[in-house]
Amino acid sequence: MPITEQSDSPQDDPRDRRIAKLEAENERLRRIRDALIVRVESGAAHKPEPYAAFEHSVVLAEQVRERTEALNQAMDELKASNKALNRAREEAETSRQRLSDAIESIADGFVLFDRQHRLIQSNSRFRSYWHSVGLAAPEPGISVTDLKTRAVASGLVVEEHSHPDSEGVVFLLSNERWVQMTERPTREGGLVALYSDITDVKNSEMARRIKALEESERWIRVVTDHVPALIAYVGADMTIQFCNKVYEGWYGRKGESPLGKRLNEIHSPEFYQRLLPQILDVMEGHNVTFEFEETGELGDTRYMLRSYVPNVDEQGDIIGFFVLIRDITDRRKTALALEQAYDNLERRVKERTAALTGLNNQLRQEITERAAVEARLRDAKLEAERANLSKTKFLAAVSHDLLQPLNAARLFTSALLEQSFGPKAEGLVRSVSTSLDDVENLLGTLVDISKLDAGVIKPDVTAFDLRDLLNNIAREFRQMAMAEGLQLDFVASSAIVESDSQLLARILRNFLTNAIRYTGKGRILLGCRRQGDHVLLQVWDTGPGIPEDKLTEIFQEFKRIRPAGSQPDKGLGLGLAIVDKISRMLGHEVTVSSVEGRGSAFSVRVPVGRLKPRLKTEDPNSARSFDSGLGGATIWVIDNDHAICQGMKTLLEGWDCHVVTAVSLADLERQLDPAKGAVDLILADYHLDNDENGVDVVAAINGRRSCPAPVVMITANYTNELKQQVRELGHLLMNKPVKPLKLRSALSHLLRS
């Protein structure tokens, strides 16, 4: 393969110049030597003295010898330089040959340009592109611009494609081969161009695209073939380019497909003329919908609803339109049948109208009378609903006022029970206390059921430890069980559950109240057991049991199952109804199992919870301890009811407490300095006079003190907002009426902590 290149001439090589200079110097010395020899040999006519001549000849001989040695040394250097030059020429030739072989071994077309972007060298692959179209390959020295112009002008390059995001330019050659050109600059400012044949890649990509189009067309055909409508696409030349099987089946005359045929070929001339105005309209860019009656190949007449939709290309030109034809023959027949039926019906209606006129007058009279009766019934129903709602709201709203005097009476009787009287007086006090218990239970039950019905009570679900809840309930009901001659056994638990502690306690209290009420003798058990991610809280008794057919009836309001021979009780039959409403509100499952003559077991299933981490803070200034009880504790009582203040003072003083009562913050300030007065605990009612509340009063007191006092907030308000507020403030919340035993337990706990 010929390699075209440019290189320097031999005269421009420094070694050649050095050799030429040494040869010239050698020639000059040779001429000097010859001239000296001739001079010596030709000097006989003027011979000097023999000694002088001899001395001169010796000097000349020494000079000749030195010059000869210098000449020989120069000749040796010249020979070495010639050898080095020959080796360098051989290495350069080898390098050029290797470069040419490397360039030729490249599968792509290779072109090298100098810094003026003129062609220096190319390989046979690049030259073959030109030879394939019968053109001579470009000669060295042609510029890049001229090369591109020649390739386009000669027809070698048919198409040129470039994209900013792609590398290089892609050419389609006249031999239908695709070539991608990439250019890279050289270090000396020249240019290297590679021409890679990407025909196989292009063909593969084209095959993939064709396959994707074919697959897309196949899916389109699968979809359209299953559509119960005639679907087709008509090009701008009125040729059918696509149609589904339904279209082909209707217009395929004599078994021939309509594909590739013009519309005037598949329709009769008369029918085509009817379609032509709509075709012209769609080719102007309008959507067209119309109905035509059409006769098929077999002579059957069908009503067709046609829709033509234009197809617009990127330049906005109409290149065809889509055809959608729906067979509405059945719909038209149905419409005609309905029209005929309507005509017949209208005639029959007219015939019957006269006969029904008299009957309608009678019916109107009856309808008027019934409407009057229904109106009275609706008014009565609304009146009953309003009365029931008024009753419910009234009971829920006045619970605070109803519980205030009851709470005061409870405190006074509890204080009296702490005193020493004669047996007769103590019996009277206990009778009063028992009566108050009955009133409290009845009133509390009515208030609870009314609040549940009115939606006043909302669950406040949190995670808490069962230990305190069960201990307090067991302590409260153990004395009640002993008073009835029963034994209450209790199995403690420290499980963490997720529920509303007060509502859950109400469920357990109702269980225990029923167990004590209906168990004549024996024992009652309060405990719990773990069941997976739930805890089953249970109350067992050894009472008479409940008949199996009554197990669901006992949860209805005002339903009581009293065994034969048992004493009548003062209950209302609402305890388990309240349990049912609360359990539904909390989403806890309540179950009951019973064996007549052996006892019953009531259970509530509560989910297991997880306590949030809480930092325990202790007051370093607390110096007093009440491990032995409440003796010596100073307690401030703030309540707007003087009777409750007096009753609470009497009860607490009976527990050896020092008590200060006040009906407001101003009343307390008149008696002492809240910022410096000695106090171990504050008992405050939430509802006070003059728009004051216990939370604000306690906050004002503790805000002045260096060491805040613990607080017990007492209220008849059961809202979750108040519960959450009191909990966030770190206070203890108790609901009215306050049970003295529960109050004493809470005070002992707070004073010891």
Q: Could you read off the pLDDT of 650-684 as tens digits, one per residue? A: 888 888 899 999 989 889 899 999 888 889 999 99
Per-residue pLDDT, 4: 40
Distance, CA of 4 to CA of 2 (rounded, Å): 6
**Secondary structure (3-state) at 591:** strand
Structure-token pair, residue 494: 């420290």
Smallest Cα–Cα separation from 455: which of 725, 722, 720, 737? 720
Per-residue pLDDT, 6: 41
Which range among 215-229, 379-393, 642-656, 712-726 shows the weakest confidence by mean pLDDT?
379-393
Per-residue pLDDT, 559: 59
Per-residue pLDDT, 281: 92
Q: What is the mean pLDDT of residues 39-54?
A: 60
Neighbouring C-beta atoms of residue 85, cutoff 10 Å: 17
Alpha carbon separation from 126 to 181, 194, 196, 201 (Å, rounded) = 11, 9, 10, 19
Q: What is the mean pLDDT of residues 81-105?
A: 78
Q: How far is CA 551 from the centre of its chain?
A: 47
pLDDT of residue 11 exceeding 50, the answer is no
Distance, CA of 535 to CA of 496 (rounded, Å): 9
Is 645:600 a contact under the CB 8 Å cutoff?
no
Is 18:82 a contact under the CB 8 Å cutoff?
no
More reliable by pLDDT, 219 or 445: 219
Q: What is the mean pLDDT of residues 470-484?
A: 86
Query: Residue 228 — φ and ψ, nearest 5°?
Result: -75, 55
Per-residue pLDDT, 506: 86
- The string over 237-268, giving b where at least 16 C-beta atoms fall within 10 Å of a residue's C-beta and e elsewhere, is ebbbebbbebbbebbbeeeeebeebebeebbe
Integer-rounded Cα radius of gyration of the chain = 59
Per-residue pLDDT, 480: 84
Q: How do strand 496-499 and strand 462-465 relate by DSSP bridges?
A: antiparallel
Distance, CA of 108 to CA of 115 (rounded, Å): 22
Per-residue pLDDT, 419: 66
Q: What is the mean pLDDT of residues 475-502?
A: 87
pLDDT of residue 399 exceeding 60, the answer is no
Q: What does the mean pLDDT of the chain come to?
A: 79
Local structure of residue 255 (DSSP, 8 states): G
Q: What is the mean pLDDT of residues 707-733?
A: 85
Q: What is the mean pLDDT of residues 237-249?
A: 88
Summarised one tens digit per residue, pLDDT across range 132-187 is: 778 888 888 888 888 888 888 888 888 888 777 667 788 888 888 888 888 888 88
Distance, CA of 598 to CA of 616 (rounded, Å): 47
Distance, CA of 534 to CA of 503 (rounded, Å): 17
More reliable by pLDDT, 454 or 504: 504
Distance, CA of 679 to CA of 710 (rounded, Å): 9
Neighbouring C-beta atoms of residue 130, cutoff 10 Å: 17
Q: What is the mean pLDDT of residues 487-502?
A: 88
Residue 20: pLDDT band with limits 50, 70, 90? confident
Is 445:574 a contact under the CB 8 Å cutoff?
yes
Per-residue pLDDT, 7: 41
How much of the chain exceeds pLDDT 90, in percent? 11
Per-residue pLDDT, 24: 84
Residue 440: pLDDT band with limits 50, 70, 90? low
Q: How do strand 157-162 and strand 119-122 relate by DSSP bridges?
A: unpaired
Summarised one tens digit per residue, pLDDT across range 315-332 is: 888 999 999 998 888 888
Smallest Cα–Cα separation from 554: which of 537, 536, 573? 573
Query: Residue 154 — φ and ψ, nearest 5°?
Result: -80, -10
Residue 637: pLDDT band with limits 50, 70, 90? very high
Distance, CA of 747 to CA of 726 (rounded, Å): 17
Residue 606: pLDDT band with limits 50, 70, 90? very high
How much of the chain exceeds pLDDT 70, in percent? 81
Cis peptide bond upstream of 737, omega within 30:
yes
Alpha carbon separation from 81 to 18, 70, 78, 86 (Å, rounded) = 9, 16, 5, 8
pLDDT of residue 293 exceeding 50, the answer is yes
- The string over 462-482, giving b where at least 16 C-beta atoms fall within 10 Å of a residue's C-beta and e elsewhere, is bebebeebbebbbebbbebbe
- Burial of residue 578 (number of CB atoms within 10 Å: 0-12, 13-18, 19+): buried
Per-residue pLDDT, 569: 54
Distance, CA of 328 to CA of 308 (rounded, Å): 16
**DSSP letters spanning 275-340:** HHHHHHHHHTT--EEEEEEEE-TTS-EEEEEEEEEEEE-TTS-EEEEEEEEEE-HHHHHHHHHHHH
Per-residue pLDDT, 390: 64
Which amino acid, one-letter code, is at 317? D
Summarised one tens digit per residue, pLDDT across range 570-605 is: 555 667 888 888 888 888 998 988 888 888 899 999
Per-residue pLDDT, 548: 78
